[in-house]
């Protein structure tokens, strides 16, 4: 089976993969796709001791780890790993069973086709002094695909008659990014290219990371962060993480109550549960409507952000 999740950031957001829900479930027949910001190839020049340790951990896991690149990757170092053909496309082999799915490729995995195009613009540089403001230390110009890579992406899609089963990227098309981030993130040549892909390509489902949210959008597009989902399913394959709530105050959410779907606004958060809600975060959600009732809801009943 094939599972997908969001950014891991070199271990900062790896907890979703280290629990028994993943390590005790996935087998040698399974694949796990990380939708960018893998982040374990980060330090300048060589693998650090920490990176080696985590890459060894991934290689010892029974499943095969696949990732597209995000914006938080050391691209010069990533390009130094051996390149080889795999399942119809090109990969960088980081370790046995740990592969970087290169840009502008179409892979066939378990009988399904996957178009991959990593990269995204870093929006966290800002004016503050720090490593992530410095090109070549915290970000690299290669975070945005080159014109050649975008031309290659267009060509490979055309060769497949603009039809694939699944699309895996790090960022969203422009129109979808605007829904998620409003004017906080600006369009660029990559999001505009992905907009063209969305409008002219047939696909079953599109998965991305980047936005540190878990939500499902229109046009069969899912944003992943803490969720680990089974391919073709938008329901998390792992339970919510105790002490690490997904949603924030004033988030607009969709939630399930008594078998019916409601919309509301998060007013309070209980990271470690509440009353009879054990083992997962809980929320006070102000339900839309004339009554304006506040409901205490466990996180596994919250279906995603409301658009």
Q: Is 300 helix (H, G, I), strand (E, B) or coil?
A: helix
Both tokens assigned to 243: 């002490």
Phi, psi (deg, nearest 5) at residue 103: -70, 150
Is the model's pLDDT at 19 over the cut of 90?
no
Phi, psi (deg, nearest 5) at residue 41: -125, 85
Is the model's pLDDT at 22 over the cut of 60?
yes
Residue 37 near residue 73, CB atoms below 8 Å:
yes
Is pLDDT larger for residue 280 or for residue 201?
A: 201
Going by pLDDT thresholds of 50, 70 and 90, the confidence category of residue 127 is very low
Residue 103 near residue 89, CB atoms below 8 Å:
no
Rg for the chain (alpha carbons), in Å? 19
Beta-carbon count within 10 A of 251 CB: 20
Is the model's pLDDT at 109 over the cut of 90?
yes
Q: CA dist 230 to 33, 171, 237, Å?
A: 10, 20, 6
HSE-CB for 295 with a 13 A CA cutoff: 20
Mean pLDDT of the chain: 91
Cα separation, 209 vs 206, whole angstroms: 11
Nearest to 79 by CA among 92, 97, 89, 96: 92
Nearest to 65 by CA among 90, 89, 91, 88: 91
Tens of pLDDT along 205-254? 999 999 998 889 989 999 999 999 999 888 788 877 788 898 899 998 88
Q: What size, in residues, is the chain? A: 307
Q: Note the pLDDT of residue 131.
A: 53
pTM: 0.84
């Amino acid at each position: 089976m094939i599972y997908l999740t969001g950014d891991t950031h070199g271990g900062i957001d790896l907890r979703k993969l280290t629990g028994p829900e993943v390590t005790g479930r996935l087998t040698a027949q399974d694949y796990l796709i990380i939708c960018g910001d893998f982040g374990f190839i980060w330090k300048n020049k060589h693998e650090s001791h920490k990176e080696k340790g985590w890459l060894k951990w991934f290689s010892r896991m029974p499943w095969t780890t696949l990732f597209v690149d995000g914006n938080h990757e050391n691209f010069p170092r990533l390009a130094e790993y051996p390149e080889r053909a795999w399942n119809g496309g090109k990969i960088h082999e980081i370790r046995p069973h740990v592969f970087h799915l290169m840009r502008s490729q179409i892979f066939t995995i378990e009988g399904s086709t996957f178009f991959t195009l990593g990269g995204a613009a870093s929006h966290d540089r800002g004016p503050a002094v720090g490593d992530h403001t410095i090109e070549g230390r915290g970000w690299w110009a290669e975070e945005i695909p080159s014109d050649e890579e975008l031309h290659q992406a267009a060509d490979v899609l055309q060769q497949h008659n603009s039809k694939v089963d699944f699309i895996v990227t790090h960022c969203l098309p422009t129109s979808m990014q605007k829904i998620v981030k409003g004017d906080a993130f600006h369009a660029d040549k990559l999001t505009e290219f992905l907009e063209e892909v969305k409008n002219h390509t047939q696909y079953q489902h599109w998965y991305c990371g980047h936005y540190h949210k878990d939500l499902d959008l229109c046009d069969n597009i899912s944003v992943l962060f803490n969720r680990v989902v089974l391919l073709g399913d938008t329901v998390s394959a792992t339970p919510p993480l105790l002490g690490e709530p997904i949603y924030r105050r004033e988030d607009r959410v969709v939630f399930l109550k008594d078998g019916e779907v409601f919309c509301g606004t998060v007013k309070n958060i209980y990271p470690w549960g509440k009353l009879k809600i054990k083992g997962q975060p809980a929320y006070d959600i102000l339900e839309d409507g004339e009554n304006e009732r506040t409901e205490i809801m466990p996180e596994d009943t919250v279906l995603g952000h409301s658009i």
